């Protein structure tokens, strides 16, 4: 009897991909992902629709608006400094004038970030990306040629763009959003800003600092309601004190335009006229052109994607980070989200997460920065807290630099002395806040307000505000 031959085992074909990961978008989220993956020896490519990397953060959002704010802040400082009063005529700068500084900063940032990708051997693909399937992208290049690329993992880091309602004509030369305002070439004497969120409030400060008449329309009852009430009230007061007209709880009914002006009609019956309108009300995730349906993905009504705690979408090999997933919509958080998503791709068991207390920096004039809980949150949760305050006008460094406006507030638990929240209003608030944040992150009882009493600060410094606030707070205990 002949023995039957043993059947051969079928060989399973391993799918070959061109890249371990492709990242769509080169803003902070995309950069954080790319850098982490490349340092773990993964073959990585980034896709960017523009020839320069950096995304909206570098070209239209965070970097240019903060550069503009810096120029205006220095102008205000010069014109208000008693050292120059009477010797020099007050200086006047136009919006196009200060854009030159912003353009220089953008160039430096692009050069720096391009170097990161080059040194880490991350391939830069220029073009418009969209999904063919969950592992394949179509890239339409600037010359209209098409390239298909495949990857084991794909990361969506496309950011967001200003929301544009259909009934507003953004093609009119006097109507802008927060992206197109950077192309403003005339010198407006008046501007209406619709939307008093972070972007609207920052640009209200910038234009008012240039001497432009500003009407700020707030769709809510108070400015930046997510802030501690005292910080929100301080901003409202200083904008009002500087001549900004704030209209709360208002909605636009319609907009009329002429060649050189804009008339805004509000639902309350009011109407306003200005040289131009800046629409700063809402943002939308950049997903409309990705053909998500080809990868079995769907964005919500705001163009945003849902992810799990490892930044993984409902399609296991596709991840999303940054503004395209919504909260907290901060450049700093987006970079860390990218880094954490990369770690999760490499190690499915990764437990690394964003820190609980992410600092917020708002670059109005003066700045606002916060970390941790607000007074209203602690009151609602019935946490027995106490408050320590330091006013900048009492600090020697603030008196020397003539930066007298502002204060630092520390919220801490009455019994444990644990720091629960820190809120700062004034020049360099976004820098000052990190001292308190570092102490809040200490473990094993290291996070107490008493740290600021027991340590020694340089003198004179703005950081000394922490010691003053800590003494003020501890003196309230009995």
Same domain, 403 and 431: yes
Same domain, 323 and 446: no
In a domain, 72, yes or no: yes
In a domain, 229, yes or no: yes
Same domain, 302 and 393: no
For residue 14, the model assigns a pLDDT of 55
Is residue 114 part of an annotated ligand binding site? no
Is residue 424 part of an annotated ligand binding site? no
| Cβ proximity of 63 and 106 under 8 Å | yes
Tokens 């209200």 correspond to 204
Is residue 159 part of an annotated ligand binding site? yes
Same domain, 180 and 43: no
Q: In terms of residue numbers, what domain contains 190?
A: 175-281
Tokens of 418: 């644990």
Same domain, 226 and 308: no
In a domain, 361, yes or no: no
How many domains, in total, are found in the chain?
3
For residue 10, the model assigns a pLDDT of 46
For residue 160, the model assigns a pLDDT of 96
In a domain, 430, yes or no: yes
Distances (CA, A) of 18 to 35, 138, 307, 335, 352: 18, 13, 25, 25, 28
Is residue 48 part of an annotated ligand binding site? yes
For residue 244, the model assigns a pLDDT of 98
Domain boundary among 315, 346, 377: 346
Domain boundary among 231, 261, 281: 281
Separation of alpha carbons 51 and 44, rounded Å: 18
Is residue 338 part of an annotated ligand binding site? no
Is residue 309 part of an annotated ligand binding site? no
Q: Chunk the chain into consecutive blocks of 10 residues (it has 478) and report each block's average pLDDT, rounded to whole numbers.
A: 50 74 97 96 96 94 94 90 69 88 94 95 97 97 96 97 95 96 94 97 97 97 96 96 97 96 97 98 96 97 96 97 95 96 92 90 96 98 98 96 94 97 97 96 92 95 97 96
In a domain, 356, yes or no: no
Same domain, 143 and 24: yes
Residues paired with 390 in a beta bridge? 408
Same domain, 386 and 406: yes
Instruction: Give the count of beta carbons closer than 10 Å to the beta carbon of residue 79.
Output: 16
The string of DSSP codes covering 71-134 is HHHHHHHHHH-TTTBTTBPPP---HHHHHHHHHHHHHHHHHHHHHHHHHTT-EEEESEEEEEET
Is residue 201 part of an annotated ligand binding site? yes
Domain boundary among 232, 262, 281: 281
Tokens of 150: 């495949």
Same domain, 273 and 290: no
Is residue 50 part of an annotated ligand binding site? yes
Same domain, 194 and 90: no
Same domain, 327 and 443: no
CATH number of the domain residue 424 falls in: 3.30.390.30
Is residue 220 part of an annotated ligand binding site? no
CATH number of the domain residue 53 falls in: 3.50.50.60
Is residue 323 part of an annotated ligand binding site? yes
Is residue 327 part of an annotated ligand binding site? no
Is residue 311 part of an annotated ligand binding site? no
Same domain, 140 and 181: no
Is residue 194 part of an annotated ligand binding site? no
For residue 307, the model assigns a pLDDT of 97
Q: What is the torsional sign of CA 264, 270, 275, 276?
A: negative
Is residue 199 part of an annotated ligand binding site? yes
Cis peptide before 366 (omega within 30 of 0): yes
Is residue 55 part of an annotated ligand binding site? yes
Tokens 């950069």 correspond to 31
In a domain, 375, yes or no: yes
Same domain, 52 and 142: yes
């Amino acid at each position: 009897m002949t023995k039957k031959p043993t059947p051969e085992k079928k060989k399973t074909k391993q799918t070959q991909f061109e890249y371990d990961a492709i990242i769509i978008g080169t803003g902070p989220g995309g950069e954080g992902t790319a850098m982490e993956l490349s340092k773990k020896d993964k073959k990585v490519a980034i896709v960017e629709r523009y020839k320069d990397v950096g995304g909206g953060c570098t070209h239209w959002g965070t970097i240019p608006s903060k550069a503009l704010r810096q120029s205006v802040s220095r102008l205000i400082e010069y014109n208000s400094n008693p050292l120059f009063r009477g010797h020099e005529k007050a200086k006047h700068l136009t919006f196009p004038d200060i854009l030159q500084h912003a353009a220089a900063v953008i160039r430096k940032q692009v050069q720096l970030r391009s170097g990161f990708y080059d040194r880490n051997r991350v391939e830069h693909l220029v073009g418009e990306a969209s999904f063919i399937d969950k592992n394949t992208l179509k890239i339409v290049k600037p010359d209209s040629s098409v390239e298909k690329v495949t990857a084991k993992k794909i990361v969506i880091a496309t950011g967001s763009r200003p929301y544009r309602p259909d009934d507003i004509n953004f093609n009119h030369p006097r109507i802008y959003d927060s992206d197109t305002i950077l192309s403003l070439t005339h010198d407006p004497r008046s501007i209406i800003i619709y939307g008093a969120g972070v972007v609207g409030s920052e640009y209200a400060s910038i234009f008012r600092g240039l001497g432009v008449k500003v009407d700020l329309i707030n769709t809510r009852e108070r400015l930046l309601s997510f802030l501690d009430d005292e910080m929100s009230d301080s901003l409202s007061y200083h904008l009002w004190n500087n001549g900004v007209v704030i209209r709360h709880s208002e909605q636009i009914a319609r907009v009329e335009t002429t060649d050189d002006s804009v008339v805004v009609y509000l639902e309350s019956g009011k109407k306003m006229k200005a040289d131009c309108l800046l629409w700063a009300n809402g943002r939308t995730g950049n997903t409309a052109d990705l053909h998500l349906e080809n990868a079995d993905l769907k964005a919500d009504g705001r163009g945003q994607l849902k992810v799990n705690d490892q930044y993984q979408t409902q399609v296991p090999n596709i991840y999303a980070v940054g503004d395209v997933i919504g909260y907290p919509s901060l450049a700093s958080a987006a970079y860390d989200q990218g880094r954490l998503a990369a770690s999760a791709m490499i190690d499915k068991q990764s437990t690394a997460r964003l820190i609980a207390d992410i600092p917020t920096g708002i670059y109005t004039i003066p700045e606002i920065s916060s970390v941790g809980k607000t007074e209203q949150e602690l009151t609602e949760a019935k946490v027995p807290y106490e408050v320590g305050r330091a006013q900048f006008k009492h600090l020697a460094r603030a008196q020397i630099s003539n930066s007298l406006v502002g204060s630092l507030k520390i919220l801490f638990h009455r019994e444990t002395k644990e720091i629960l929240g820190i809120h700062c209003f004034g020049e360099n608030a976004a820098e000052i806040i990190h001292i308190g944040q570092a102490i809040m992150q200490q473990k094993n009882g290291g996070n107490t307000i008493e740290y600021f009493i027991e340590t020694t600060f340089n003198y004179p410094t703005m950081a000394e505000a922490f010691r003053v606030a800590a003494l003020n707070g501890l003196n309230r205990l009995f």
